[in-house]
Structure 1
Amino acid sequence: MAEPQDPERDPRWDAVRAAARRRVPTPPGLVERVLRAVARGRRTAVDVPGESGGLSVTENVVARLASAIAAERAPDGVLVSAVAVEDDAVQVLVSVRFGVAADAAAEALRQRITAELSRQLGVAATVNVHVVDVHPG
């Protein structure tokens, strides 16, 4: 039986070792974008007052809550594509089925999300619903 070759001496690894020695530059702006994303995820979006103290809710939590509400309460023919907190408002991107009145459907969803966020958080939130696509029936 042949002895297994030591992987450290395998010449096929020479190219890998050479690549590992080369410095790979960080793409311009990458660090700043990552730091902004991390800070955004931790930024307080809502301060909820309570009887025994306050509660600070992060943007990420508000976005997740709004996303769940949007998926649950979307009118027929409306598909929620994305939900985020940007510019101090909940931004909801949706597509509507061909034939659905886009403005009316977006307004209905906006009202439903606004009411439910207000009920669950105890404070009013600004919600914008943007129709970004139309899909076939």
Structure 2
Amino acid sequence: MAETEEPERDPRWEAVRAAARRRVPTPPGLVERVLRAVARGRRTAVEVPGEAGRPRGPEGVVARLARAIAADRAPDGVRVSAVAVEDDVVQVRVSVRPGVVAGEAAEALRREITAELARQLGGAVNVHVVDVHPG
């Protein structure tokens, strides 16, 4: 088919136009997650509760520090998939290799991250096993 001078008149674009007219439903929970992310983005600092009190630090800095610690201290067979600060608590999501005792691995990582965060700035940490990954 020869190219037309004006792409908008090309009949092959009709499928694109039809797709653009179709209403796409909003996935469940998306609006709430976006609003929480926007609200978090407005905060300039977060208090991280811990044994050493409630030190304040930029949320992004706390999350990046926790992410670096988690990546460095994750036990064999554990992959860190996400780290965030939610409700002033560091939330770490990991997957484990088959054969790894998930609860023990999560608790060991939580202790490692908590100890290092406490050493550097204090903080509470939750580790959630969310998946099993192959070898």
Q: Same fold (TM over 0.5)?
A: yes
Runs of 4+, deviation exceeding 3 Å? 30-36
Superposed displacement of residue 46, structure 1: 2.9
For 1:103, what is the secondary structure of its paired residue? helix
Residue 131 to residue 64, structure 1, CA distance change in 2 (3 Å): same
Residue 75 of structure 2 aligns with an amino acid whose one-letter code is P
User: Is there any run of 5+ residues in structure 1 with no aligned partner, and where?
Assistant: 1-6, 8-26, 48-53
Residue 113 to residue 34, structure 1, CA distance change in 2 (3 Å): same
- CA distance, structure 2, for counterparts of residue 69 and residue 96 of structure 1: 17
* Identical pairs, percent: 72
Residue 84 to residue 55, structure 1, CA distance change in 2 (3 Å): closer
5 Å-filtered alignment, 1:82-121, equals 82-120=82-120
Query: How many residues are paired up?
Result: 125
TM-score, structure 2 normalization: 0.65
5 Å-filtered alignment, 1:29-108, equals 36-43=36-43, 44-46=45-47, 56-58=57-59, 60-108=60-108
Superposed displacement of residue 79, structure 1: 0.1
Q: Deviations over 1:60-83 (max 9, x none)?
A: 211111111101110000000101
- CA distance, structure 1, for counterparts of residue 32 and residue 134 of structure 2: 40
Residue 97 of structure 1 aligns with an amino acid whose one-letter code is R
For 2:128, what is the secondary structure of its paired residue? strand
Residue 58 of structure 2 aligns with an amino acid whose one-letter code is V
- CA distance, structure 1, for counterparts of residue 42 and residue 62 of structure 2: 11
Residue 66 of structure 1 aligns with an amino acid whose one-letter code is A
Higher relative contact order (CA 8 A, sep 6+): 2
User: Is there any run of 5+ residues in structure 2 with no aligned partner, and where?
Assistant: 1-5, 7-25, 49-54
- Find the counterpart in structure 2 of residue 131 from structure 1: 129
TM-score, structure 1 normalization: 0.64
Q: Deviations over 1:66-116 (max 9, x none)?
A: 111101110000000101111221110000000011111100000000011
